[in-house]
Amino acid sequence: MPEEGPDAAKAEAVGVAPDPRSLPDHPVLVGLIEPFEDAEWALSSGQHVVLLPKEQLGEFAQAAKAAGFEMAADVTAVDYLGKRRVRFEVVANLLSVEHGLRIRVRCPVPADDTSLPSLVPTYPGANFFEREIYDMFGITFEGHPDMTRILMPDDWEGHPLRKDFGVGDVPVQFKEANKVT
């Protein structure tokens, strides 16, 4: 499926629309966003979301850690093949136990340049999550100490959670099908 098609504009709407109400009012969030001019804040189902160019992920992680977000609770990716112009999106959930806050950082990753800065230097706990993303989507992280497959066998071909990777099936034989009732 082409990444730019007639449906692309409509599909773009799957994302979150910037909402003026969503501007962060918490002092920690305000301080965090200020240096990042390209970052966009939004509210998605009542949760704080930051849309960030992928090159700035490493910097943003450092700023977030300094602002009190101690934990990378979750890092994952989504394949928007045929839904959006930019195919992949890496989604990192940062948690601040100290402030009781949670933000979701979303970085669009184009299909022809699937590489972005790793969170591991800042959040060592992102290690397994990033390996899982590499395994499942083929997105690589620069600065990751051990960019190998984690769940699939080492000699596996392809990246299973990509939308163009088939689910696979086993033909089922219904034994009773040929019997005349």
Partner 1 sequence: MTDTQDRKTKEIWVSGTEEPDWPGPDYVAHATDEGAQKMKLHETGDRLIEQLGIRIVDDVLYEEEEIDEDDRMIINMGPQHPSTHGVLRLQIELEGEIVRRIKPIIGYLHTGMEKTAETLTFMQGTTNVTRMDYLAPLHNELCFSLAVEQLLAIDIPPRAQAIRILMTEMNRIASHLVALATNGMDLGALSMMMYGFREREMILAFFEKTTGLRMNNNYIRVGGVAADLPDGWQGDIEEFLETMPLRLAQYDDLLMANPIWLRRTRDVGVITAEECLAYSITGPSLRATGLAHDLRKVAPYSGIEQYEFDIPVGQRGDSYDRYRVKVHEIEESLKIIKQVLETMPSGDYKTDDRKVTPPPRKRIDESMEALIHHFKIYTEGFKVPEGEAYVAIESPRGELGCYIVSDGGSKPLRMHTRAPSFANIQAIPIMLADSLIADTIAALASLDPVMGDVDR
By the rule CB under 8 A, 148 interacts with partner 1: yes
Residue 130 makes contact with partner 1 by CB under 8 A: no
* Binding to partner 1 in span 7-36, by CB under 8 A: 11, 13-14, 16
d(CA 7, CA 54): 24
Among residues 33 and 75, whose Cβ is nearest to partner 1?
75
Number of residues forming the site for partner 1 (CB under 8 A): 47
H-helix or E-strand containing 92? strand 88-96
Closest separation between CB of residue 80 and partner 1, Å?
A: 7
Cα–Cα dist 154/144, whole Å:
18
Q: Are 145 and 169 in contact (CB under 8 A)?
A: no
Partnered with residue 150 across adjacent β-strands are none
Which residue among 61, 64, 67, 72 contacts partner 1 (CB under 8 A)?
72
Q: Is 111 in the site for partner 1 (CB under 8 A)?
A: no
| Beta carbons within 8 Å of 137's beta carbon, 6+ residues apart | 77, 79, 88, 114, 159, 161, 162
Q: Does 137 bind partner 1 (CB under 8 A)?
A: no
Q: What angle do CA 51, 56, 61 make, to 5 degrees?
A: 85
- In the complex, the residues that contact partner 1 under the rule CB under 8 A are 11, 13-14, 16, 44-47, 70-74, 76, 78-80, 83, 91, 93, 95, 97, 100, 102, 104, 123-129, 132, 136, 145-146, 148-155, 160-161, 167
